[in-house]
């Protein structure tokens, strides 16, 4: 089970159903008072039920302990010999800083060991990565490669996420005020802020935690030349698709929906909904048909 999705945390009452979006018959309406500061609070509080309601200091201690226990106990108990715990922690820190990117694993390793000649081997890192995914610490979002479509030259690299963006926020070590000021070092990010990456990770967590009842699966899309990319592509059992872009802002421009409209031109009626998830107050449908939905209003 994943940590709690945003709507499961009881912060606001959703008005837009993910199931309705996948069915292609969802009315888009609603208003929320949730603002950017509430989203930051929820990122930092975590979706772990046993952690999120603790006071600030004990919660930070618990998040740190969670990560330390993975390195010191859980991996060895699963038969993984961690000869250099500091190197593993550095790699995990670099992976967290690559949240919401599809950075290559060699790029992440270089970021973890800058200027070091004695780096962990690829095989060692691959073992760590596999086990951390099995322990549900890493939760990568696979690339979409649909069958029987005209789409060509799509990347195969997954987009990186930890199971809870609170863990990534804790690893990078930027608090609420710093996030709101745009602080936070990222790995292999071409644009955007660290808060934007964490918000995208919160949206990805919330969407994937809600997909169990639908039978749909979540992916991301990026063309090899990086001309087009879409943060979340949901594909149902009937091969119908919902495409979702995530924007850390309250307003949506024509530029923000260009990749969604490109995908509609490519796959036609198979794309049943185009959605931009925002930090705004109102859910509405644009004149071009794109649904604009604050995360607080997006439910199952």
Residue 2 · residue 204 · CB < 8 Å: no
Give pairs for 123-127: CB < 8 Å, separation 24+: 125/91, 127/80
Helix-then-strand count for the chain, H and E: 12, 8
Cα separation, 85 vs 73, whole angstroms: 11
Q: How many domains does the chain have?
A: 1
Residue 216 · residue 234 · CB < 8 Å: yes
Residue 13 belongs to some domain of the structure:
yes
Write the CA distances from 212 to 62, 142, 183, 209, 279, integer angstroms. 28, 17, 35, 7, 25
Model confidence over 61-120: pLDDT tens digits?
999 999 999 988 988 888 888 888 888 898 999 999 999 999 998 899 888 888 666 677
pLDDT attached to residue 164? 96
Residue 143 · residue 155 · CB < 8 Å: yes
Cα separation, 294 vs 92, whole angstroms: 31
Neighbours of 192 (CB within 10 A): 17
Model confidence over 117-173: pLDDT tens digits?
667 778 888 888 999 999 999 999 999 988 767 787 888 999 999 999 999 999 999
Residue 2 belongs to some domain of the structure:
no
Residue 148 belongs to some domain of the structure:
yes
Residue 35 belongs to some domain of the structure:
yes
Quote the domain boundaries for residue 212.
7-299
Q: Tell me the CA end-to-end span of the chain in Å, nearest whole number.
A: 16
Residue 212 belongs to some domain of the structure:
yes
Residue 106 belongs to some domain of the structure:
yes
Cα separation, 248 vs 280, whole angstroms: 9
pLDDT above 90: residue 193: yes
Cα separation, 283 vs 281, whole angstroms: 7
Residue 1 belongs to some domain of the structure:
no
């Amino acid at each position: 089970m994943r940590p709690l999705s945003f709507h499961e945390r009881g912060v606001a009452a959703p008005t837009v159903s993910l199931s309705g979006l996948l069915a292609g018959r969802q009315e888009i309406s609603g208003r929320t008072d949730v603002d950017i500061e509430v989203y930051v609070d929820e990122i930092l509080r975590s979706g772990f039920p046993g952690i999120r309601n603790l006071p600030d200091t004990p919660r930070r201690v618990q998040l740190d302990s969670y990560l330390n226990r993975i390195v010191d106990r859980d991996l060895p108990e699963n038969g993984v010999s961690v000869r250099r715990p500091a190197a593993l922690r550095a790699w995990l820190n670099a992976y967290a800083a690559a949240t919401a990117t599809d950075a290559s694993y060699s790029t992440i390793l270089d970021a973890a060991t800058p200027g070091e000649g004695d780096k962990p081997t690829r095989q060692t890192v691959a073992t760590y990565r596999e086990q951390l995914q099995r322990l549900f610490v890493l939760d990568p979002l696979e690339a979409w490669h649909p069958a029987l479509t005209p789409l060509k030259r799509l990347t195969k690299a997954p987009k990186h996420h930890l199971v809870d963006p609170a863990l990534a926020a804790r690893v990078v070590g930027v608090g609420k005020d710093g996030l709101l000021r745009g602080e936070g070092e990222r790995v292999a990010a071409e644009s955007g802020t660290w808060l934007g990456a964490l918000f995208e990770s919160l949206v990805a967590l919330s969407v994937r935690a809600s997909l169990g009842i639908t039978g749909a699966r979540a992916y991301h899309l990026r063309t090899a030349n990086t001309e087009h990319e879409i943060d979340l592509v949901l594909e149902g059992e009937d091969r119908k698709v919902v495409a979702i872009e995530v924007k850390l802002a309250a307003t949506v421009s024509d530029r923000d929906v260009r990749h969604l409209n490109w995908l509609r031109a490519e796959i036609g009626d198979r794309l049943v909904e185009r959605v931009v998830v925002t930090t705004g107050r109102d859910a509405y449908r644009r004149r071009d048909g794109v649904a604009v939905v604050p995360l607080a209003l997006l439910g199952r």
